[in-house]
Structure 1
Amino acid sequence: MSTQKYWRGSAAVCVVLAIGGAYALSHRNADASVSDAQGPASSLRAVADIVGSRSSAPDFSGIVSRYGPAVVHIGVKEAASVDENGNRKSGGEALGSGFIISQDGYILTNNHVVDGATSVSVKLTDGREFHARVIGKDKATDVAVVKIDATNLPTVKIGNPDNSKVGEWVVAIGSPYGFDSTVTSGIISAKSRSMSDDSPIPFIQTDVPVNPGNSGGPLFNLNGEVIGINSMIYSRTGGFQGLSFAIPIDAAMHVKDQLVRTGHVSRGRIGVGVQPLSADKAKALGLASNGGALVGSIDPNGPAQAAGLRQGDVIVGVNGKHISSTTELVGQVAQLAPGSEATISVWRNGGERKLSVTIGAQQSADVAQVAPREQQQQPQQQNRPRLGVAVRPLSEDEQQEASLPGGVVVQQATGPAAEAGIQPGDIIVAVDGKVIRSVEQLRRMIAQADDSVSVTVVRDGEQASVDVTLG
């Protein structure tokens, strides 16, 4: 699904880091203890049943012995370069991890591991080293494929991340700081995490200690199946702080297939701008939950428009697969082949309907128009303005040039309006579906409104609706 970027908010305080260089961190104890000696014995037994004892903690040795030989150390030499500010960067060496997916030498890793490399080498656990060719790489998903000339190589088993559950144990193998074949473990903390507004990847979040040098290494489930590629950490310090993220292996294999076949990646688009559905909005629309993706704008020349999607529809499924978030929608549509037919399930007027859409081709890195998390939820503040805009009427020339039935121009945006993404220069054309023809009408409607309103604005010729929680 490809549309223009939705309105971007402020930068996050924490830093998302690709884990390309390395440090090691010892793993914590797998069991838990109870220090309150005064508690009832039944409570202690209940805690023990839930947590388990040391003897019942998973044994990862079978996974390591069976599939560890398929995990490789990747060494990279980089050429000198000049950055965007004109500063010269000297060449050097970097390292990462990867894993063998075919006996004839195809290896998956991260794009950031091999990007800019003048040469790539691969070292196996048996000590053999090979020169590797970069078959293809994809910046949007951070997936790359390299190949070595060898046969009868050990390989991993590919799993289905859709079958994994939050709370399940997972294992990482890689080369943090060059310490080859390092094994760490943890649990799946969450699924379908969006780490940036333009990424088509619904990341798997874990608490597995992964560090610089683990990049490109596999994330295994307890069946010994790879369900992800370790890619980044989220940190305030630059080091591991319990938040690591892996690319789901099904998304990576989809990219791999295209890179091997054509050397580049094509992504689908349907031409809509989407945003998360608030609980209040879901209730107002008659939805049982706030899953799905609310259509805020539609490309007038895009596939969605041709298929009959409307602004205000909630996309709840793609080809029979339930969509619970904007992140899932972005990932699902991006994997659809341009020119193929897809069935999009939408919630409209209190009921679900299915629309057939001919998938378009993405022309840029943007997959979807998704409101950034910083703008999706902000704490309530005291003494907040009701809406928080200073506006003026449209001039006759402006109204004719924009071909609008009415509207007011935003000169300043603060408080709820700014948090919802409204900016100076936007034209407010409607509130809750009613056309705004004067400043006084807007003031009156906002004063009489409930706790939230849907504001329709025009920016750079494109129309979008945003939900605003009033002050």
Structure 2
Amino acid sequence: MTWLVAVVLASASSVNPLVQLSGSIEALVKQVSPTVVQVVVTAYTTVDQGNRAQADLVMGRQRSIGSGVIIDAGGYIVTNGHVVDGARAIQVVIPGEKAGRGRTVDAKIVGIAREIDLALLKVDVTGLPALPLAAPGSVRQGELVFAFGSPEGLRDSVTMGVVSATDRQPDPDAPMVYIQTDTPINHGNSGGPLVNVKGELVGINTFILSNSGGSEGLGFAIPSSLVALAYPKLRQFGHLHRGEMGMVLQTLTPKLAAGLALARDAGVIVADVVAGGAAERAGIQIGDVLVSVDGQPIDNVLPLAMRLFTSNGDERVSIGVVRGERAFTTDVAVVARTNDLDRLTDLLDPETSAVPELGISRHRHHGRNRAAAAGAARAGGRHRRRARAAGRRRRRRAVDRRRHSFGQRRPRRDARGASCAHGRRARAQSDRPADRAERTAAVPHVRCELIAHVSRTVECVV
């Protein structure tokens, strides 16, 4: 019996722990990858033509790539709001059974919550694998996490890191909180999942802080608790409507407290109060320090902002207030936000308010359609002939100006100041009428190509 125990212990100790770790990661990736999709967005944006005065006048088609994660087997996909903002067409690449293969399907936007940068998409495919959400508050600093997505358009990629911090606020007065991770995240990872070792969604990769434009170990993800809050509302209403109390808040810092001669150096200070708002009616004044929400102590804006996110309106929140040496509690009504821009889109009916797509058709000017155009001009009557004649005169003047700009270029000179032979030949060839006319006709053609076919795989933010 002793010999058997020794053999078992020896065999157990012979297993390489790195091999076990690698096998566990492989199993995790195999489990999660089918739930991660690539989001391909086509939108029209201004194209920089090198002329700042005309940059906003030229529109071009831009193709951007992001990531998303399936959270419902019925075809619902969560991604970042900035990934699909302004999209004219959205396609989703769903992973196939074999690595590197997938099927591309059209997707539509169900809802966007711009304030928290989340969007919900829907594809007409059912029976999809869905990624479960981690329990709220289960993320711990230092735990292993994995980022899935399409960095730089490279679909089905995964990287590994740790949770650097939970409840991170890049701006102390911002209402949003993020999970900070050193997992390598790059452009194209936006909207992809951040997953723990259990294969649960702990966050949606959103942006990075970087001086180089690439990953420097400062990535930020929207917590899964916020995803769980937003998903049902986006699915039902299309937007995440939040409440308001009618006051502007600022996180109280030691420097701010010293400058205002306050006894406390932690909490939330009221910077402004909306006249006639719920906060003013509850007796809150500018300069008050808020120290608790529903009996829970607070030292920044985040808890109160999250309370407003979870509110459906027509509720009351108990707030602890310190004013000078006086401390008291007051109930503030939470009302529906009146300046919510997302509510305006609720008034639009896509079936009745949609405007048909506008497009530009480009045709080559040759003998056949020139003759057809002339025939149409003759059949159009005297006024139409006069209009076309005036148009031809304007075009001839434009052609003359272009000929001057293209045909009168100075020849290149060598170091001695003499004209180069190549420059003389180039000028002689450029002065030929056929060449000048060919280049002149090509100018608008090239411009149309630039406008119609500018295609970049970029994302503003990761």
Where structure 1 has 5 or more consecutive residues not aligned to the other structure, the ranges are: 1-52, 367-471
Is it true that 1:187 corresponds to 2:129 in the alignment?
A: no
Alignment CA distance shift 1:363-1:63 (3 Å): farther
Is it true that 1:66 corresponds to 2:41 in the alignment?
A: no
What amino acid does structure 2 have at the position aligned with 1:64? Answer: V
Larger radius of gyration: 2
What amino acid does structure 2 have at the position aligned with 1:362? Answer: R
Where 2:209 maps in the other structure, the secondary structure is strand
Where 2:233 maps in the other structure, the secondary structure is helix
Where structure 2 has 5 or more consecutive residues not aligned to the other structure, the ranges are: 1-16, 49-53, 97-101, 342-462
Partner of 1:96: 66
CA distance in 2, matches of 1:320, 1:181: 46
Is it true that 1:271 corresponds to 2:246 in the alignment?
A: yes
1:176 to 142, 147, 151: 151
> What aligned pairs does 1:105-124 form with structure 2 within 5 A after superposition?
105-124=75-94
What amino acid does structure 1 have at the position aligned with 2:313? Answer: P
What amino acid does structure 1 have at the position aligned with 2:247? Answer: V
Where 2:72 maps in the other structure, the secondary structure is coil
Shift of 1:353: 4.2
> What aligned pairs does 1:27-38 form with structure 2 within 5 A after superposition?
none
1:220-243: CA deviation from partner (whole Å, max 9, x where unpaired) = 123322121101111112111111
Is it true that 1:341 corresponds to 2:322 in the alignment?
A: no
What amino acid does structure 1 have at the position aligned with 2:209? Answer: Y
Is it true that 1:247 corresponds to 2:222 in the alignment?
A: yes
1:268-323: CA deviation from partner (whole Å, max 9, x where unpaired) = 11122222223474998666xx5431223322322112222233433233334443
Moved more, 306-315 or 113-122: 306-315
CA distance in 1, matches of 2:170, 2:151: 22
Where 2:140 maps in the other structure, the secondary structure is coil
Q: Which has the higher helix share?
A: 2
1:93-147: CA deviation from partner (whole Å, max 9, x where unpaired) = 2111101111100100011111122211111221232211111112221111100
Percent identity over the alignment is 36
Alignment CA distance shift 1:193-1:301 (3 Å): farther
Q: Is the 8 A contact 1:78 1:118 kept in 2?
A: yes
Q: What is the TM-score when the length of structure 2 is the normalising length?
A: 0.61
CA distance in 2, matches of 1:89, 1:193: 38
CA distance in 1, matches of 2:143, 2:321: 32
Alpha-carbon RMSD across the aligned residues, in angstroms, is 3.0
> What aligned pairs does 1:378-417 form with structure 2 within 5 A after superposition?
none
CA distance in 2, matches of 1:363, 1:296: 20
Q: Is the 8 A contact 1:201 1:251 kept in 2?
A: no
Alignment CA distance shift 1:228-1:346 (3 Å): farther
Alignment CA distance shift 1:213-1:155 (3 Å): same
Is it true that 1:294 corresponds to 2:258 in the alignment?
A: no
Where 1:86 maps in the other structure, the secondary structure is helix
CA distance in 1, matches of 2:249, 2:36: 39
What amino acid does structure 2 have at the position aligned with 1:296? Answer: A
What amino acid does structure 2 have at the position aligned with 1:66? Answer: Q
Is it true that 1:217 corresponds to 2:192 in the alignment?
A: yes
CA distance in 1, matches of 2:141, 2:291: 22
Alignment CA distance shift 1:175-1:349 (3 Å): same
Q: Is the 8 A contact 1:73 1:123 kept in 2?
A: yes
Is it true that 1:261 corresponds to 2:226 in the alignment?
A: no
What amino acid does structure 2 have at the position aligned with 1:115? Answer: D
CA distance in 1, matches of 2:324, 2:295: 20
What amino acid does structure 1 have at the position aligned with 2:216? Answer: Q
Alignment CA distance shift 1:183-1:321 (3 Å): farther
What amino acid does structure 2 have at the position aligned with 1:180? Answer: R
Alignment CA distance shift 1:197-1:348 (3 Å): closer
Q: Is the 8 A contact 2:110 2:234 kept in 1?
A: yes
CA distance in 1, matches of 2:336, 2:104: 40
Where 2:32 maps in the other structure, the secondary structure is helix
What amino acid does structure 1 have at the position aligned with 2:36? Answer: V
CA distance in 2, matches of 1:278, 1:195: 15
Q: Is the 8 A contact 2:319 2:332 kept in 1?
A: yes
1:353-404: CA deviation from partner (whole Å, max 9, x where unpaired) = 43222112333469xxxxxxxxxxxxxxxxxxxxxxxxxxxxxxxxxxxxxx
Q: Is the 8 A contact 1:338 1:360 kept in 2?
A: yes
Alignment CA distance shift 1:108-1:131 (3 Å): same
Q: Is the 8 A contact 1:173 1:183 kept in 2?
A: yes
What amino acid does structure 2 have at the position aligned with 1:316? Answer: V
Is it true that 1:226 corresponds to 2:201 in the alignment?
A: yes
CA distance in 2, matches of 1:327, 1:212: 28
Alignment CA distance shift 1:350-1:222 (3 Å): farther
Q: What is the TM-score when the length of structure 1 is the normalising length?
A: 0.60
Q: Is the 8 A contact 1:192 1:327 kept in 2?
A: no
Aligned length: 312
Where 1:235 maps in the other structure, the secondary structure is coil
What amino acid does structure 2 have at the position aligned with 1:303? Answer: A
Relative contact order, higher structure (CA 8 A, sep 6+): 1
What amino acid does structure 2 have at the position aligned with 1:302? Answer: G
